[in-house]
Chain A
């Protein structure tokens, strides 16, 4: 069955354009107390541009807009690197338990023991999964976790009395890594790899000015960095630290532990590996795991257990300090904990095995039609290029045509080391039927490119709007609604 089809799609105006003066979504009883006079300079005659609508107007407005959306609950969402995993509904049920959902962040610890117990257990579970000595749950997202991790590395070097200036980043690392290093005041030194980083390359680039190597394992090509142990040794020999971007941890659960490979710091993307929602830009959570020597530098507060009770440790003299208000995005932590406990150790390992199997299944079905720039065995994602796409069609055209077939397009033109890259990550939840339908669509598009390339170049055609002018949108964006 082809997933993408056409149907009636309802148009919708901006909410400001619906407004009719005096229309409301509420009715209040008659005033039966004397009216209080407001201070005159606080009163406005009119709030300009403030939409006035009835309840049904508002409901229809947002319901219609929601039908224009595509999410992992609508269909297959194979966005490489971003890991758009299905979010099991049991996570939501657990996060809505009143004791969790209604907990106020300022509740004193002795009245929040359940919440603190969950946080402590999650710290311990993440430490066990990753092989690190300690974990902080404070950072609010993956990039925030990176920042926390690199600040700890910087604080450690400073505490040794020899701050350093450079950070090595291979070309297959995650895209946010150079920004993090720069934000921590380091000079970024790009390191070339040929898909896999070698210890020899790292050794040649290492010197006593290098604070850390930031690596992603498996890397953004979906390939396992097989020399990781030697790479860590090469960095440690010169007194540097190894930071691992944990974005791809979902390829390792229950099989290999970054802490055992010699890595010193790693962040976890709970919204990737541990199935919490990506949400409309948040909230996320980016816990960070560290080796023992970095524990004194963990951000405050840190959940600790004393006997049978739990408390928030704020007295941490060497800590990099507070990273945000309160203790982390607690609701997200609950969901991640639910995922870990639902699956258990065997289930997590099975999730990784299925993620890897699914990526390799897609690879096996598409290899031969689509060019595979790196032929080593893939882990949880696979990167093709548009080299063999005919009819002057490119990756962008392929991605747009996939929309017509009913799929959210995968990540395109990333990683940068592959020209015309398309990066597919199916994740563990997809059945063979879904993978086959997707692969059939990919193969059909390759055929269309050869025989009827206009269909690919003009895509998407079944959507509410056809191909948008991305260049004009970037060069001359119109970001504000104006009346009239």
Chain B
């Protein structure tokens, strides 16, 4: 299972790629593996205002339906339209083609609360 060094992580199993004031968000390899085959994704619309810690979308697998929580507050500037027709991409490429949304941050201080790859890996080992 992979946990790229350049990403930040949450305890709800989202990853965040930070590029100045725009961040890209998706779910981790561990999350997609636990969920199993993903069959449906619901994402917010461009322009939606997100609040850190609140759900911004839904991911449904053959096993369960789960909320996806926003690690940050800000405005959605882009969503991955590909996922609507091909949600399986989240299983095959959680960190690259399976990205979900891009958000323009309203509060960069929130990034300090995120975990780095090593901390996240420790967290999931404890959880298991």
Interface residues, chain A, with chain B CB atoms under 8 Å away: 396, 413-414, 416, 419, 470-471, 474-475
| Per-residue contact bits, chain B 74-97, to A (CB 8 Å; 1 contact, 0 not) | 000000000000011000000000
B40 proximity list for chain A (CB < 8 A)? 474
B62 in contact (CB, < 8 A): yes
CA distance A413 to B66 in the complex (A): 12
Looking at the assembled complex, report how far the CB atom of A421 sits from the nearest CB atom of chain B, in whole angstroms. Answer: 10
Q: Are B62 and A471 neighbours in the complex by a CB distance under 8 Å?
A: yes
Q: Are B64 and A471 neighbours in the complex by a CB distance under 8 Å?
A: no
CA distance A419 to B127 in the complex (A): 11
Q: Are A475 and B88 neighbours in the complex by a CB distance under 8 Å?
A: yes
B116 in contact (CB, < 8 A): no
B39 in contact (CB, < 8 A): yes
Q: Are B63 and A475 neighbours in the complex by a CB distance under 8 Å?
A: no
Q: Are B62 and A470 neighbours in the complex by a CB distance under 8 Å?
A: yes
A sample of 10 inter-chain contacts (CB < 8 A) reads A396-B63, A413-B64, A414-B64, A416-B64, A470-B62, A471-B62, A471-B88, A474-B39, A474-B62, A475-B87
CA distance A145 to B62 in the complex (A): 28
Question: Residues of B within 8 Å of A, CB-based: how many?
Answer: 9
CA distance A155 to B124 in the complex (A): 43
Q: Are B39 and A413 neighbours in the complex by a CB distance under 8 Å?
A: no
A470 proximity list for chain B (CB < 8 A)? 37, 62
B62 proximity list for chain A (CB < 8 A)? 470-471, 474
CA distance A414 to B64 in the complex (A): 8
Q: Are A413 and B88 neighbours in the complex by a CB distance under 8 Å?
A: no
Q: Are B63 and A471 neighbours in the complex by a CB distance under 8 Å?
A: no
Max count, chain B CB within 10 A of own CB: residue among A414, A419, A470: A470
> Chain A at the B interface: mostly helix, strand, loop or mixed?
helix
CA distance A55 to B62 in the complex (A): 40
Looking at the assembled complex, report how far the CB atom of B41 sits from the nearest CB atom of chain A, in whole angstroms. Answer: 11
B37 proximity list for chain A (CB < 8 A)? 470-471, 474-475
Residue of A nearest to B37 (CB): A471
B87 proximity list for chain A (CB < 8 A)? 475
Looking at the assembled complex, report how far the CB atom of A455 sits from the nearest CB atom of chain B, in whole angstroms. Answer: 22
Looking at the assembled complex, report how far the CB atom of B85 sits from the nearest CB atom of chain A, in whole angstroms. Answer: 10
A474 proximity list for chain B (CB < 8 A)? 37, 39-40, 62
A416 proximity list for chain B (CB < 8 A)? 64
CA distance A413 to B63 in the complex (A): 6
Looking at the assembled complex, report how far the CB atom of A415 sits from the nearest CB atom of chain B, in whole angstroms. Answer: 10
CA distance A471 to B63 in the complex (A): 10
Residue of B nearest to A476 (CB): B39
| Per-residue contact bits, chain B 36-58, to A (CB 8 Å; 1 contact, 0 not) | 01011000000000000000000
Looking at the assembled complex, report how far the CB atom of B40 sits from the nearest CB atom of chain A, in whole angstroms. Answer: 7
CA distance A413 to B39 in the complex (A): 16
CA distance A90 to B40 in the complex (A): 44
Looking at the assembled complex, report how far the CB atom of B90 sits from the nearest CB atom of chain A, in whole angstroms. Answer: 12
Residue of A nearest to B63 (CB): A413
Max count, chain A CB within 10 A of own CB: residue among B39, B64, B87: B39
Q: Are A475 and B64 neighbours in the complex by a CB distance under 8 Å?
A: no
CA distance A419 to B34 in the complex (A): 9
Looking at the assembled complex, report how far the CB atom of B107 sits from the nearest CB atom of chain A, in whole angstroms. Answer: 21
CA distance A414 to B62 in the complex (A): 12
Contact of B39 among A396, A419, A471 (CB under 8 A): A471
Residue of B nearest to A474 (CB): B39
CA distance A474 to B40 in the complex (A): 8
Max count, chain A CB within 10 A of own CB: residue among B34, B63, B64, B87: B63
Residue of B nearest to A395 (CB): B63
CA distance A475 to B90 in the complex (A): 13
| Per-residue contact bits, chain B 8-47, to A (CB 8 Å; 1 contact, 0 not) | 0000000000000000000000000010010110000000
B39 proximity list for chain A (CB < 8 A)? 471, 474-475
CA distance A413 to B62 in the complex (A): 10
Nearest 3 pairs of A and B residues by beta carbon: A474-B39, A471-B37, A413-B63
CA distance A416 to B39 in the complex (A): 18
Max count, chain B CB within 10 A of own CB: residue among A419, A470, A475: A475
Residue of B nearest to A387 (CB): B128
Contacts A413-B63, A470-B62, A471-B37 known; list 11 others, CB within 8 Å: A396-B63, A413-B64, A414-B64, A470-B37, A471-B39, A474-B40, A474-B62, A475-B37, A475-B39, A475-B87, A475-B88
B64 proximity list for chain A (CB < 8 A)? 413-414, 416
A414 proximity list for chain B (CB < 8 A)? 64
Looking at the assembled complex, report how far the CB atom of B119 sits from the nearest CB atom of chain A, in whole angstroms. Answer: 21
Looking at the assembled complex, report how far the CB atom of A433 sits from the nearest CB atom of chain B, in whole angstroms. Answer: 33
Residue of A nearest to B66 (CB): A416
Residue of B nearest to A178 (CB): B67
Looking at the assembled complex, report how far the CB atom of A3 sits from the nearest CB atom of chain B, in whole angstroms. Answer: 27
B63 proximity list for chain A (CB < 8 A)? 396, 413
CA distance A413 to B40 in the complex (A): 18
CA distance A26 to B44 in the complex (A): 55
A413 proximity list for chain B (CB < 8 A)? 63-64
Residue of B nearest to A187 (CB): B54
CA distance A9 to B40 in the complex (A): 35
Looking at the assembled complex, report how far the CB atom of A396 sits from the nearest CB atom of chain B, in whole angstroms. Answer: 8
CA distance A475 to B64 in the complex (A): 14
Residue of B nearest to A419 (CB): B34
CA distance A416 to B35 in the complex (A): 11
